[in-house]
């Protein structure tokens, strides 16, 4: 292995330590699925999330990193550089999971970031700039939709107060859950919300099959496709299922079926680039012998082309309204993130690091959204993907090989040092 930059730090990455930490974290919220897979259910701003954060902090303190939190609950671990006055290089990801999530989505980028600063500290290297590892609040959007509320607040993409009144399934407001977390972490030093990093680099599992299928070790991520999230509420009237003639019904489920059929036509894409998903449906009163008076369903719509994202996304409301026969529909957009391009700086540092370590790469866009996309307006940004088995993610069977995890951390530390010395 030839390494042109920081060979000692690259060599100090420990595959065993990284793996052991990932597995230890996976116990916090860990469960075994019906199929026998070991998954993770660790919603943001819960006791489980806080337990995971404390474990991370305990590891960070052992290597002399300083710990701070910002008003959005984002957690920062800082390894000081030669010149503390310079903007740091930022790395990290998220620690929350999907309700039926895996052991790698998000947490891998945080643990790989910690491994990177531990390797730098162990190698006795002091880069020009500090390196900070961040654990962003609520990336997944599983408990509080939309996701990425921590990074969006940090980057001033949306004001923090926009999220205050979002409620979880139990009716708990986001602002209250965040306040509870801030209170329980009141022993930690605080910092103001947001700053302009020198660069941002996030490591993540690919969450798709390309690296595995093409037999490559590292994905150099070129950008992230755009996403728009909507909730559709259809209002009808509840009536007796046994007695009400069809012609007199205002059945919210029947109009929902028409709306989804019309949306499938709107979103038809013979090239299979467009992503359109309806995955959460709430029916009221939710009983088999009363006609549904209300249905609320979600739309997750993604596309790499901004024009398509805007045109088809903007058509959703009209298509849903036109599909109604007896009910009324309202469409609310709750997340709108345009596609981003990472440019050359950070992907270049990632590609150079991987190549110098003898690792094979492909340059690829991300289909999943990530906190990284909100850093693009702030600073040069990029991501490192590692392969995951079968491309499976947002599923308990999600798996990345220990060697793949270590490869990603080695590329991460080298690219971070390149950026931190620039
Ligand atoms: C992130 O979890 C996504 O849904 O892309
Ligand atoms: Mn993720
Ligand atoms: Mn995810």
pLDDT digits (tens, 9 = 90+) for 65-76: 999 999 999 999
Q: Which residues line ligand 1 (CB under 6 A)?
A: 140, 368-369
| Ligand 1 atom with the shortest distance to the CA of 141 | 2
Mean pLDDT of 286-298: 98
**Ligand in closest contact with the CA of 205:** 2
Per-residue pLDDT band at 4 (split at 50, 70, 90): very low
Contact criterion met (CB below 8 Å) for 382 and 349:
yes
Q: Which of 4-13, 111-120, 145-154 has the lowest mean pLDDT?
A: 4-13
pLDDT digits (tens, 9 = 90+) for 135-175: 999 999 999 999 999 999 999 999 999 999 999 999 999 99
Query: What pLDDT is attached to residue 7?
Result: 79
Probe target for ligand 1 pocket from 97, 137, 138, 141, with the most ligand atoms within 8 Å of CB: 141
Probe target for ligand 1 pocket from 369, 383, 395, with the most ligand atoms within 8 Å of CB: 369
Q: What is the DSSP string of 78-130?
A: EE--S-TTSPPEEEEEE----TTB-SSTTHHHHHHHHHHHHHHHHTT---SS-
Residue 3 has pLDDT above 60, yes or no: no
Q: Report pTM.
A: 0.95
- CA–CA separation, 362 and 387 (whole Å): 11
Ligand 2 centroid to residue 370 C-alpha, Å: 6
According to CATH, the topology of domain 7-224+339-420 is Aminopeptidase (3.40.630)
Query: What pLDDT is attached to residue 1?
Result: 40
411 vs 4, which has greater pLDDT?
A: 411
Residue 90 has pLDDT above 60, yes or no: yes
Mean pLDDT of 218-234: 98
Domain 7-224+339-420 and domain 226-337 have a common topology:
no
Per-residue pLDDT band at 231 (split at 50, 70, 90): very high
* 3-class SS of residue 162: helix
pLDDT digits (tens, 9 = 90+) for 333-371: 999 999 999 999 999 999 999 999 999 999 999 999 999
Q: Where are the domains of the chain?
A: 7-224+339-420, 226-337
CATH of domain 226-337: 3.30.70.360
Ligand 1 centroid to residue 207 C-alpha, Å: 9
**What does the mean pLDDT of the chain come to?**
97
Q: What is the DSSP string of 370-405?
A: -GGGGTTTTS-EEEEEE--GGG--SSTT----HHHH
């Amino acid at each position: 292995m030839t390494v042109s930059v920081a060979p000692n730090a690259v060599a100090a990455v420990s595959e065993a330590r990284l793996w052991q930490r990932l597995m230890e974290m996976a116990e916090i919220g860990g469960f075994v699925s019906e199929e026998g897979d070991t998954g993770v259910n660790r919603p943001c701003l819960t006791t489980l999330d806080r337990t995971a954060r404390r474990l991370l902090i305990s590891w960070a303190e052992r290597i002399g990193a300083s710990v701070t939190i910002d008003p959005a609950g984002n957690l920062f671990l800082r390894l000081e550089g030669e010149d503390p006055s310079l903007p740091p290089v930022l790395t990290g990801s998220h620690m929350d999971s999907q309700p039926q999530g895996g052991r790698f989505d998000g947490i891998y980028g945080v643990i790989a970031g910690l491994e990177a600063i531990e390797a730098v500290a162990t190698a006795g290297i002091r880069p020009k700039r500090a390196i900070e590892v961040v654990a962003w609040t609520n990336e997944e959007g599983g408990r509080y939709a939309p996701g990425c509320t921590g990074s969006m607040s940090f980057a001033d993409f949306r004001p923090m107060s926009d999220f205050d009144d979002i409620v979880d399934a139990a009716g708990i407001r986001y602002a209250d859950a965040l306040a509870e977390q801030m209170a329980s972490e009141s022993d930690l030093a605080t910092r103001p919300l947001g700053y302009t990093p020198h660069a941002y680099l996030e490591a993540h599992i690919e969450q798709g099959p390309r690296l595995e299928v093409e037999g490559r070790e590292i994905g150099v991520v070129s950008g992230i496709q755009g996403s728009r999230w909507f909730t559709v509420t259809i209002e009808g009237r509840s009536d007796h299922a046994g007695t009400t003639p069809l012609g007199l019904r205002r059945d919210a489920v029947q109009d929902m079926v028409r709306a989804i059929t019309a949306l499938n036509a709107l979103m038809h894409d013979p090239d299979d680039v467009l992503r359109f998903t309806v995955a959460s449906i709430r029916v009221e009163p939710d009983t088999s012998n009363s006609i549904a008076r209300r249905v609320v369903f979600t739309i997750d719509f993604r596309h790499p082309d901004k024009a398509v994202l805007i045109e088809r996304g903007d058509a959703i409301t009209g298509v849903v309204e036109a599909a109604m026969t007896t009910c009324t529909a309202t469409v609310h957009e709750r997340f709108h993130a345009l596609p981003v391009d990472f440019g050359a700086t950070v992907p270049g540092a990632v590609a150079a690091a991987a190549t110098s370590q003898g690792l094979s790469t492909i340059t690829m866009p991300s289909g999943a959204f990530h906190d990284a996309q909100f850093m693009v307006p702030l600073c040069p940004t990029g991501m490192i993907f590692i392969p995951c088995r079968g491309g499976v993610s947002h599923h308990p069977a999600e798996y990345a090989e220990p060697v793949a995890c270590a490869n990603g951390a080695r590329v991460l530390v080298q690219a971070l040092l390149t950026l931190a010395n620039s």
